[in-house]
Structure 1
Amino acid sequence: MTVTEGAGHSPAAHPSYPGDGDPLGLLDLFGAPFVRDPYPWLDRLRSESPVHHDPATGLWLVSRHQDVREILLDNDRFLPDNAQHAATPLPVAVLRVFARARFALPPALANNGTPSHAGLRRVVTRFFNAQRVAAAVPVIERVAEELLDAVRPGLESTGGCDLFTSFAQVLPCRVLMELLGIQGVEPATLIRWSDASLELFWGRPTLERQLELAELVVEFQRWLTETVRGGAAPEDSFIGALARHRLPDGSLLDVETAVGACFFVFIAGQSTTGQLVATVLSRALAEPGIWPRAAAEEGLAEAWVEEVLRREPPVTTWRRVTARATRLGGVELPSGAQLLLMLMGTGSDPDLFPDPERMCPHRANIRHHLAFGVGRHRCPGASLARTEAAVALRSAARALPHIRSAAESAEPPMLGLLSFRAPLRVAVEHRP
C-alpha cells in the first residue's frame, strides 16, 4: 500500500505550507504533507477555491458541502462513469498482464450510470438492509469476541499489540464472508486481494509495484469468476442471487458484470470498513474519556462512529465527470471535466458543522455528512459499516479496558490513496 509516516488530526490553525507563493499550487494529493494532515489544505480549498483545478492530476477539486451534495444528486449533469478509473494511468506492461488474463470489470455499481444499475443495486441492498444488519449483530459480536480473545494473551504477555492487523482489518472480512456465504478462501487472502486492488486503482505505485499488484488483482478476478461461473453458490447467497438476476431486457446477468458487482462489494465491505474501524479505535483511544465511556454508555459507540465518519471518513473522495458544459460554484466547467469530490472536506464545512475540528458525539445534524454519499449511488452497505464499527469499539473497550495508545501510535503510518485514508497501525499497550 501507499503509506506515509505521521497522522495529524485536527489542527486549529492554518497550515505551514512549504515555500512561498500560491499554497494551493503546492498541493500534492498523494504527498506526505497532505496525507498526514489534509485538514488545512481542505479548509483552504473550501474557503478560497471551492471548485479548484489541480494541474498535477487534471482533476477539479470540489470541497464545499452544498456543491458536493448537488453533484451527487444530479445524475444528468454529473456521471459516475469515472468513479473507478485508475488514478495513475496503467502502463502498457500492466495492460498486457490484464489482457493475458482477459481481465474486465464492466460497470456494475459505483461507476454504473446505465439502466441496469437500479436492479443490481436492489440485489445488493437486499443483503445489507436494516433487517439483515440487525440480525447480523450477534455474528459481529461473536467474531469480535473471538478476535479479541486471541489478542488478549499476547497483549498481556508482551505489553503491547497492533489492533489493526489483529482486529480492525480482520473483523469486517470475516463478517462479510459469513453474511454473504463466501467459502473456499482464507480471510487473509481476501484482504490481500482487496488491498492490492485499492492500491493499484487508487494509488500512485511505481511500475514494479503496479506489476506486482496487477498479478494479485488478476488472481482476485479469476477467483471471483470461477466462483460466479461455478454454480455451486447457494441460491440464497449473495453470489447465488447475482447469478439469478435478470437485466431490464429479461436476460440473465452476464458473468463479467456479476464479477464487477462482487469486486466492488467485497472491497467496500471489508477494506474500507476495516479502515473505518481502525480510525474509530485510534481516535477513541486518543480522546480523553471516550474509551471507558464507549464500554458502558449506551449509544456512545454509535455516536462516536458518526463523528468519525463526519470528520475522518475512510473514503475521503469520490469522482464524477460532467455530461456537458455546466456551471458549479460560480465556475464554468467544460463537458468531460473530471471532478474529485472532497468528501472528507465537506464534513468540516463550518457552514454546516460548527466547530468542525472538535469531536462532538451526538451533534444534532450529524447525519448530514456525506461519508457514504447521497442519492442514487449512496453506499448500500452504510448501515452494516456503521454497525460493525460501533460493535468493534464497544467490544474492544469492554474486552480491553486497560489499554492506551502506545507512544509510537502518535505518528502511525497512513494509507494514502486518492480516495482512501486511514491508520495502518493501531498500536496499544497494556496499562497496569
Structure 2
Amino acid sequence: MPATLTRVDSMAKPVVRWGLGHLLPRTVMAAAARRGDLQGRLILASRGGDPFPLFDELRAKGPLYRGRFSFMTTSLPIVREVLTSGDFRTGFDPTSARGAVNRAYLWSVGGDRLGPLEPPSLLVTEPPDHTRYRKLVTRVFSVRAVERLRERAEHVAAELLDRMDGADEVDLVERYCALLPVTIIAEILGVPLGERERVLAFGAAAAPSLDLGLSWRQFRQVETALSGFEQWLTEHIEQLRREPGDNLLSQLVAAREDGVGLDDRELKATAGLVLAAGFETTVNLLGNGAALLHDNPEQLERLQADPALWPNAVDEILRFDPPVLLTGRSAVRDTEVAGTPVPAGSLVTTLLAAANRDPEVFADAESFDVARPNAKDHVSFSAGRHFCLGAALARMEGEVGLRTLFERYPKLQRLPGARRRGTRVLRGYETLPVRPN
C-alpha cells in the first residue's frame, strides 16, 4: 500500500504543481490583461518580446503598482529597499500558507525534488541556511579569485574565435556566447570536457523553470531536464568523492563551516545552481552586449579608441539590456513600501530591467552610453543578501568575451534571423547569426 501511495503521489504532484504554479496563474493573468491590468499584460508580453514600453506605463503609475498577482515597482531606490529589507524574503514562506490552494501547492513541491525555486536552492533560502551555503562558495568567486581566471578566459575566447575564422555565417550564441562561460564554469566545477555539451543542454532546457505560466508540454520538458540534471549531478559528485580534484565542487564536497558540511541534497542544490547560474546569465550578457555594440557603432568606436572603458561598458550593457528582467520577494510581516501598506504574505515584484532605466537615477536613461559615469549603479545582479555571488565572474567574462570578439572582428556583421529566447525572466538571444569577417 505505501508503494502504491508513493506512485500516486509521484503522478499527481507534477499535475498539481503545473496546475497551481502555471495554469491557474496564466489564466488569472490573461483575464487580468484583458481588463487592462499592467502586470497581466507584462507577463503575457515579456516572453521573448520587448517589455520596456510596458515598464514606462508602469512607471507612470507611480513608485508601487498593485497588480493582479503582486505589487510591482520600477523605482531603483525602492527595488534596493525591498531587496535589502528584513521585511521581505525570497521564495514562499511555508508558515504563511493558508487555504486549500496554498497547502496543495506546498504538498506538490515537497519531497526530494530539486529545482532553482525550491529549498535548499540559494535562490529561495534565508539565513541561517543561506549564510552557511554562501560562505562555502563565496571565496571561489571573490574578485581576486576571478582575476586569476582572466588569463584562462582570454585563452578560451581566442580558441573559440579561431574556429570561426573564415566562416561566412555562424550563430554567435551557439559558437561563442554559450561556449565561453560554460567552459570556464565547467573547469571551476571539475566537469569533464566530454560532459560540457550535456550541461549546456540541461541549462537550456531548464532555463524556463524560473517562468510563470508554462504550458503542460514546456513544464514537462523543464521537469525532465531538471531530473536529468540532478541525476547527472549525483553521479558527478560521487565521482569527485572517489577522485577529488583541484576544483570548487571537490572543495564543496569536503568543505566544513564550523564543523558542518553540506548534506547530499544541499550539495546538489548549491552545485547545480552555481553551475547553471555560472553560464546561463553570462550567455545572455555576451549575446546582448554583442548585439548592442554592433547596433551602436559609435559606442564601439569609443571602446576601440579607449579600451580602458571596457569594464564600464559591461556594466552599461548590464544596465541597458540585463540578462534577468525581474525577481520577487514576499513580505514576512505587515510593512510599508513607498508609503503603501504591504500586508504579510504579499508579493512584490522588483522589475530590475525597469529600475536600471530609472530616470531619477540615470540621466538620459534610454540611451546606451559606454562611458556613463554611474553605469555600475544598476541592479542586474540583485542586491542585499541575495546579490549574485557570480557577479565578478560575469563581469570578467563579459569584458574578456566582448573585447576579444571585437578586437578580432571589428567589422562583425549581424545577419537576419536573430531570435530572442522565449523566456519571461531571463532575457537574451537564442540565436544571433553573424558574419565574423
Residue 122 of structure 1 aligns to a residue whose secondary structure is helix
Q: 2-side partners of 1:107 and 1:161: how far apart? A: 39
Q: CA RMSD in A?
A: 2.7
Q: 1-side partners of 2:194 and 2:213: how far apart? A: 29
Task: Name the amino acid aligned to 2:55.
Answer: L
Q: 2-side partners of 1:295 and 1:162: how far apart? A: 24
Q: 1:419 to 1:26 in 2, by over 3 A?
A: closer
Q: Trace 1:329-348 onto structure 2 (pairs within 5 A).
A: 329-348=338-357
Q: 1:275 to 1:104 in 2, by over 3 A?
A: same
Q: 1-side partners of 2:303 and 2:362: how far apart? A: 23
Which whole-Å deviations, capped at 9, do the CAs of 1:294-327 have from their partners, x for residues lacking one?
4563223222211111111101111111001111
Which residue is equivalent to 1:429? Answer: 435
Which residue is equivalent to 1:53? Answer: 66
Gapped runs of 5+ residues in structure 1? 1-18, 84-88
Residue 228 of structure 1 aligns to a residue whose secondary structure is helix
Deviation of 1:25 after TM superposition, in Å, equals 6.7
Which residue is equivalent to 1:9? Answer: none
Match of 2:420 among 408, 414, 417: 414
Deviation of 1:103 after TM superposition, in Å, equals 2.6
Residue correspondences, number: 391
Task: Name the amino acid aligned to 1:103.
Answer: R
Which whole-Å deviations, capped at 9, do the CAs of 1:35-77 have from their partners, x for residues lacking one?
422112112212314322332xx13222211111001111x20
Deviation of 1:383 after TM superposition, in Å, equals 0.8
Which residue is equivalent to 1:27? Answer: 41
Normalising by structure 1, we get a TM-score of: 0.83
Which residue is equivalent to 1:124? Answer: 137
Higher-helix-fraction structure: 2
Q: 2-side partners of 1:80 and 1:423: how far apart? A: 27
Which residue is equivalent to 1:15? Answer: none
Match of 2:228 among 212, 219, 227: 219
My pick for the range that moved more, 350-359 or 41-50, is 41-50
Match of 1:167 among 176, 180, 189: 176
Q: 1-side partners of 2:92 and 2:275: how far apart? A: 19
Which residue is equivalent to 1:237? Answer: 247
Does the 8 Å contact 2:142/2:392 carry over to 1?
yes
Q: 1-side partners of 2:39 and 2:132: how far apart? A: 43
Match of 2:73 among 41, 54, 62: 62
Gapped runs of 5+ residues in structure 2? 1-32, 94-100
Task: Name the amino acid aligned to 1:71.
Answer: V
Deviation of 1:96 after TM superposition, in Å, equals 9.0
Structure 1 residue 393 and structure 2 residue 399: aligned?
no
% identical equivalent positions: 26
Deviation of 1:340 after TM superposition, in Å, equals 1.4
Q: 1-side partners of 2:384 and 2:37: how far apart? A: 34
Structure 1 residue 148 and structure 2 residue 161: aligned?
yes
Which residue is equivalent to 1:113? Answer: 126
Deviation of 1:207 after TM superposition, in Å, equals 0.9
Does the 8 Å contact 1:322/1:334 carry over to 2?
yes
Q: 2-side partners of 1:160 and 1:426: how far apart? A: 10
Which residue is equivalent to 2:314? Answer: 305
Q: 1:53 to 1:23 in 2, by over 3 A?
A: closer
Which residue is equivalent to 1:13? Answer: none
Which residue is equivalent to 2:13? Answer: none
Q: 1-side partners of 2:372 and 2:210: how far apart? A: 35
Q: 2-side partners of 1:227 and 1:49: how far apart? A: 49
Deviation of 1:22 after TM superposition, in Å, equals 4.5
Deviation of 1:247 after TM superposition, in Å, equals 5.3
Deviation of 1:355 after TM superposition, in Å, equals 0.5
Task: Name the amino acid aligned to 1:428.
Answer: V
Which whole-Å deviations, capped at 9, do the CAs of 1:373-407 have from their partners, x for residues lacking one?
2221111111110110111111111112232222x
Match of 2:84 among 51, 73, 90: 73
Q: 1:313 to 1:21 in 2, by over 3 A?
A: same
Does the 8 Å contact 2:73/2:351 carry over to 1?
yes
Task: Name the amino acid aligned to 1:251.
Answer: V
Task: Name the amino acid aligned to 1:169.
Answer: A
Deviation of 1:123 after TM superposition, in Å, equals 2.0
Task: Name the amino acid aligned to 1:308.
Answer: I
Task: Name the amino acid aligned to 1:126.
Answer: R
Q: 1:129 to 1:228 in 2, by over 3 A?
A: same
Which whole-Å deviations, capped at 9, do the CAs of 1:251-309 have from their partners, x for residues lacking one?
33211011111121111101111111110111011102334554563223222211111
Which whole-Å deviations, capped at 9, do the CAs of 1:340-361 have from their partners, x for residues lacking one?
1101011100000010011112
Q: 1-side partners of 2:387 and 2:309: how far apart? A: 25
Q: 1:288 to 1:401 in 2, by over 3 A?
A: closer
Residue 345 of structure 1 aligns to a residue whose secondary structure is helix
Q: 2-side partners of 1:49 and 1:299: how far apart? A: 38
Q: 2-side partners of 1:340 and 1:261: how far apart? A: 24
Deviation of 1:20 after TM superposition, in Å, equals 10
Which whole-Å deviations, capped at 9, do the CAs of 1:103-152 have from their partners, x for residues lacking one?
33532422111312223212211111111111111111111111111112
Q: 2-side partners of 1:49 and 1:188: how far apart? A: 46
Which residue is equivalent to 1:317? Answer: 326
Task: Name the amino acid aligned to 1:179.
Answer: I
Q: 2-side partners of 1:349 and 1:162: how far apart? A: 33
Q: 1-side partners of 2:207 and 2:276: how far apart? A: 8
Structure 1 residue 42 and structure 2 residue 52: aligned?
no
My pick for the range that moved more, 273-282 or 42-51, is 42-51
Q: 1-side partners of 2:260 and 2:320: how far apart? A: 43
Normalising by structure 2, we get a TM-score of: 0.82
